[in-house]
Amino acid sequence: MLAVSHSRFGPGADVAELVEVAEPAAPQAGEALIGLQAAPINPGDLLRFEGRYGNTAASLPLFAGGEGIARVLAVGPGVRRVKVGDLVLVHQYFFKVGAWRQRILAPVDRLIPVPEADLLQLSMLTVNPATALLMLTEFVDIADGDSVVQNAANSAVGHWLIKLAAIRNVKLINVVRREDAAAELRAAGAGIVLIDGPDLAERIADVTNGRLPRLAIDAIAGSATQRLGSSVAECGTVVNYGLLSGEPCQIAARDTVFRDVTLRGFWLQRWWMDSTPEQISEIYAYLGKLVAGGDLSVPIEATYPLAEIKAALAHSARPHRTGKIVLTMQAT
């Protein structure tokens, strides 16, 4: 059975290794054997190769891959939660092994069933759309027609936010750093798209007629956080979930002290640790239904078989991509 591993830290295309690993054992009570169908390459995966993801050091070697979609191949005695043929979501946090492998022996209570739908879209469901939905709903009580602003709107999470905001009748203000990215978003049907800059707060005030958003979503950190902090209403909230700038979040006292603006962080793994199995299942049932109904999808730029992992990682690291890179596992 094939899996992706790395025994040193560095750029994924340089350090990733396709290795043969032992086949999983037959499932016992409370277990299921699942076959991976597809898995996206996320920024977090690239950071793990470099040893820069999360808040703990990991020992080498490591198996790679953060999420994917799998089909149940066999179940242990007495298993009722899933049956052979069901589709289930996979995430590294639940299984402690990389998702870029052909088969996994998994505890049934960690499996998240989803309806039949496009496998490539489902493969991306565990991380980015859940992150987008939870940031949109968990921090500020947003009503129909309210405004929310996000930067890095052309990112994967940004695309999911655009879709989810439209479904929930939220007026999303999308901020990007390049005109070509703005043009792509406008062509894809995004509503308001602005180019980031020092006068961002003034332009957001203009497009909202002074009714500033109470929620801003930040993927960049650094000075970009400050520009969002100055763009939200008094007592507004900036939620940071990424560090694309490589710098710490910045936010001025004039916003935190005098306008009571709050800076919060979001990490999906923390949400999983703090949530019940019922809450987790509810979120993914909702997202799975939207994908199955054709209401939720994001662009995919290319797919690669697992055997071409180095080429896939090199492609994923290219700047200015227009969609996700997805691995197909060719599981049997």
Write out the catalytic residue numbers: 53
Q: How far apart are CA 123 and CA 221, in angstroms?
A: 27
Please say whether the dihedral angle defined by the alpha carbons of residues 161, 163, 166 and 172, taken in this order, is positive or negative.
positive
Q: How far apart are CA 51 and CA 46, in angstroms?
A: 9
CA distances from 124 to 89, 128, 185, 219 (A): 9, 7, 20, 18
CA distances from 248 to 124, 201, 205, 251, 296 (A): 28, 20, 26, 10, 32
Q: How far apart are CA 14 and CA 33, in angstroms?
A: 31
Contact call for residues 126 and 87 (beta carbons, < 8 A): no
Contact call for residues 161 and 150 (beta carbons, < 8 A): yes
**Kind of pairing between the strands at 215-218 and 2-6:** unpaired
Lay out the sheet containing 17-20: strands in order across: 17-20, 2-6, 62-63
